[in-house]
Amino acid sequence: MLRQLFPEDYIDSIFDLNIEQLLNNNVKGLIFDIDNTLVPFDVAHPNQKLISFFEKLKEKGFKICLVSNNTKERVIKFNEKLKVNTIHKASKPRRKSFIKAMDLMGTNKDNTLVIGDQIFTDVWGGNRLGIKTILVVPVSDRDEWITWIKRGIERLVIRLYQRQRSKKR
Ligand SMILES: [Mg+2]
Protein backbone atom coordinates (compact mmCIF):
# COMPACT_ATOMS: atom_id res chain seq x y z
CA MET A 1 0.00 0.00 0.00
CA LEU A 2 2.70 2.45 0.99
CA ARG A 3 4.54 1.89 -2.28
CA GLN A 4 1.48 3.18 -4.10
CA LEU A 5 2.22 6.53 -2.49
CA PHE A 6 5.90 6.65 -3.45
CA PRO A 7 6.98 8.63 -6.53
CA GLU A 8 9.56 7.44 -9.02
CA ASP A 9 11.62 10.52 -8.24
CA TYR A 10 11.49 13.58 -6.00
CA ILE A 11 12.91 16.87 -7.28
CA ASP A 12 13.11 20.45 -6.06
CA SER A 13 11.41 22.04 -9.06
CA ILE A 14 10.03 21.27 -12.51
CA PHE A 15 13.03 23.14 -13.90
CA ASP A 16 15.16 20.26 -12.61
CA LEU A 17 13.46 17.85 -15.02
CA ASN A 18 16.21 16.32 -17.12
CA ILE A 19 14.90 16.72 -20.66
CA GLU A 20 17.61 14.61 -22.30
CA GLN A 21 17.01 11.79 -19.84
CA LEU A 22 13.26 11.92 -20.49
CA LEU A 23 13.90 11.68 -24.22
CA ASN A 24 16.29 8.77 -23.68
CA ASN A 25 13.63 7.03 -21.60
CA ASN A 26 11.17 7.45 -24.45
CA VAL A 27 8.85 9.74 -22.49
CA LYS A 28 6.34 11.37 -24.87
CA GLY A 29 3.64 12.86 -22.66
CA LEU A 30 3.88 15.07 -19.59
CA ILE A 31 0.94 15.54 -17.23
CA PHE A 32 1.48 18.57 -15.01
CA ASP A 33 -0.45 19.59 -11.94
CA ILE A 34 -0.82 23.39 -11.71
CA ASP A 35 -1.26 24.60 -8.14
CA ASN A 36 2.01 24.60 -6.21
CA THR A 37 3.66 22.53 -8.94
CA LEU A 38 3.93 25.26 -11.59
CA VAL A 39 2.85 28.32 -9.60
CA PRO A 40 1.37 29.10 -6.16
CA PHE A 41 -2.36 28.35 -6.09
CA ASP A 42 -3.17 32.06 -5.85
CA VAL A 43 -1.11 33.13 -8.87
CA ALA A 44 -3.27 33.35 -11.99
CA HIS A 45 -0.68 33.34 -14.80
CA PRO A 46 2.60 31.58 -15.59
CA ASN A 47 5.72 33.75 -15.59
CA GLN A 48 8.06 34.10 -18.57
CA LYS A 49 10.46 31.46 -17.26
CA LEU A 50 7.66 28.90 -17.20
CA ILE A 51 6.31 29.92 -20.60
CA SER A 52 9.80 29.52 -22.11
CA PHE A 53 10.29 26.16 -20.41
CA PHE A 54 7.03 24.87 -21.87
CA GLU A 55 8.04 26.17 -25.31
CA LYS A 56 11.27 24.23 -25.02
CA LEU A 57 9.41 21.05 -24.01
CA LYS A 58 7.10 21.44 -27.00
CA GLU A 59 10.05 22.01 -29.33
CA LYS A 60 11.57 18.77 -28.08
CA GLY A 61 8.36 17.02 -29.11
CA PHE A 62 6.67 16.43 -25.77
CA LYS A 63 2.90 16.44 -25.55
CA ILE A 64 1.67 18.26 -22.46
CA CYS A 65 -1.59 18.23 -20.50
CA LEU A 66 -2.40 20.25 -17.41
CA VAL A 67 -4.55 18.15 -15.08
CA SER A 68 -5.93 20.15 -12.19
CA ASN A 69 -8.58 19.66 -9.56
CA ASN A 70 -9.17 23.40 -9.72
CA THR A 71 -11.99 25.17 -11.60
CA LYS A 72 -12.46 25.66 -15.34
CA GLU A 73 -11.93 29.42 -14.99
CA ARG A 74 -8.62 28.94 -13.17
CA VAL A 75 -7.29 26.39 -15.63
CA ILE A 76 -8.37 28.17 -18.85
CA LYS A 77 -6.91 31.47 -17.71
CA PHE A 78 -3.64 29.86 -16.63
CA ASN A 79 -3.33 28.14 -20.01
CA GLU A 80 -3.84 31.28 -22.13
CA LYS A 81 -0.14 31.64 -22.95
CA LEU A 82 0.95 28.02 -22.52
CA LYS A 83 -1.58 26.67 -25.02
CA VAL A 84 -1.44 23.01 -24.02
CA ASN A 85 -4.16 20.43 -23.33
CA THR A 86 -6.08 20.92 -20.09
CA ILE A 87 -8.42 19.06 -17.80
CA HIS A 88 -10.09 20.96 -14.97
CA LYS A 89 -12.05 19.59 -12.02
CA ALA A 90 -10.00 16.45 -12.51
CA SER A 91 -10.97 14.69 -9.26
CA LYS A 92 -7.43 13.37 -8.79
CA PRO A 93 -6.55 10.75 -7.55
CA ARG A 94 -9.38 9.21 -9.57
CA ARG A 95 -8.16 7.53 -12.73
CA LYS A 96 -10.49 8.99 -15.34
CA SER A 97 -8.75 12.35 -15.86
CA PHE A 98 -5.34 10.76 -16.29
CA ILE A 99 -6.82 8.41 -18.90
CA LYS A 100 -8.46 11.36 -20.64
CA ALA A 101 -5.18 13.28 -20.57
CA MET A 102 -3.36 10.40 -22.28
CA ASP A 103 -6.14 10.24 -24.87
CA LEU A 104 -5.72 13.96 -25.59
CA MET A 105 -1.94 13.58 -25.93
CA GLY A 106 -2.06 10.31 -27.83
CA THR A 107 0.23 8.66 -25.28
CA ASN A 108 -0.02 5.63 -22.98
CA LYS A 109 0.91 4.70 -19.44
CA ASP A 110 4.36 3.54 -20.47
CA ASN A 111 5.45 6.77 -22.16
CA THR A 112 3.68 9.30 -19.93
CA LEU A 113 4.87 10.98 -16.76
CA VAL A 114 2.84 12.67 -14.01
CA ILE A 115 4.50 15.64 -12.30
CA GLY A 116 2.91 17.15 -9.21
CA ASP A 117 3.39 18.39 -5.67
CA GLN A 118 0.91 16.19 -3.82
CA ILE A 119 1.26 12.58 -2.75
CA PHE A 120 -2.45 11.91 -2.36
CA THR A 121 -3.61 13.36 -5.66
CA ASP A 122 -0.79 13.42 -8.23
CA VAL A 123 1.45 10.56 -7.11
CA TRP A 124 -1.24 8.18 -5.93
CA GLY A 125 -3.41 8.95 -8.96
CA GLY A 126 -0.60 8.23 -11.41
CA ASN A 127 0.59 5.14 -9.57
CA ARG A 128 -2.91 3.64 -9.56
CA LEU A 129 -2.70 3.53 -13.36
CA GLY A 130 0.92 2.42 -13.49
CA ILE A 131 2.12 5.79 -14.79
CA LYS A 132 5.49 6.95 -13.50
CA THR A 133 5.24 9.94 -11.17
CA ILE A 134 7.61 12.70 -10.14
CA LEU A 135 6.98 14.57 -6.92
CA VAL A 136 8.13 18.18 -6.74
CA VAL A 137 8.64 20.37 -3.70
CA PRO A 138 5.68 22.82 -3.56
CA VAL A 139 6.61 26.19 -5.09
CA SER A 140 4.99 27.98 -2.18
CA ASP A 141 4.13 27.15 1.42
CA ARG A 142 0.73 28.73 0.89
CA ASP A 143 -1.97 26.12 0.47
CA GLU A 144 -5.72 25.96 0.32
CA TRP A 145 -6.91 24.80 3.74
CA ILE A 146 -7.95 21.36 2.55
CA THR A 147 -4.46 20.77 1.14
CA TRP A 148 -2.83 22.17 4.26
CA ILE A 149 -4.53 19.49 6.33
CA LYS A 150 -3.01 16.75 4.17
CA ARG A 151 0.53 18.13 4.27
CA GLY A 152 1.29 16.63 7.69
CA ILE A 153 0.65 13.04 6.58
CA GLU A 154 2.37 13.80 3.32
CA ARG A 155 5.57 14.80 5.12
CA LEU A 156 5.52 11.44 6.90
CA VAL A 157 5.15 9.52 3.63
CA ILE A 158 7.97 11.57 2.07
CA ARG A 159 10.25 10.74 5.00
CA LEU A 160 9.53 7.02 4.58
CA TYR A 161 10.12 7.32 0.84
CA GLN A 162 13.45 9.10 1.35
CA ARG A 163 14.56 6.49 3.88
CA GLN A 164 13.82 3.72 1.40
CA ARG A 165 15.50 5.57 -1.42
CA SER A 166 18.68 6.16 0.57
CA LYS A 167 18.81 2.43 1.40
CA LYS A 168 18.63 1.57 -2.29
CA ARG A 169 21.59 3.78 -3.18
MG1 LIG B 1 -0.85 20.81 -6.53
pLDDT of 3-37, one tens digit each?
899 999 999 999 999 999 999 999 999 999 999 99
Residue range of the domain that includes 64: 2-168
Q: What is the DSSP string of 27-94?
A: --EEEE--BTTTB-TT--S--HHHHHHHHHHHHTT-EEEEE-SS-HHHHHHHTTTT--EEE-S--TTS
Determine what percent of the chain is predicted with pLDDT higher than 90: 87
Q: What is the CATH number of the domain that holds 45?
A: 3.40.50.1000
- What's the 71 CA to ligand 1 centre distance in angstroms? 13
pLDDT score, position 167: 83
pTM score of the predicted model = 0.94
Total structural domains within the chain: 1
113, burial (CB in 10 Å: exposed 0-12, middle 13-18, buried 19+): buried
Measured in Å, residue 32 CA sits from the centre of ligand 1 at 9
Calculate how far, in angstroms, residue 36's C-alpha sits from the geometric centre of ligand 1. 5
Cα of 164 vs centre of ligand 1, distance in Å, is 24
* Mean per-residue pLDDT over the chain, rounded: 95
How close is the Cα of 106 to the center of ligand 1, in Å?
24
CA of 55 relative to ligand 1 center, distance in Å: 21
Distance of CA 67 from the midpoint of ligand 1 (Å): 10
* Number of alpha carbons in the 13 Å side-chain half-sphere of residue 106: 3
Q: Which helix (H) or strand (E) holds 21?
A: helix 19-24
Cα 37 to averaged position of ligand 1 atoms, centre (Å): 5
CA of 18 relative to ligand 1 center, distance in Å: 21
Gap from CA of 107 to ligand 1 centroid (Å): 22
Sign of CA dihedral 9, 31, 110, 24: negative
Mean pLDDT for 48-67 is 98
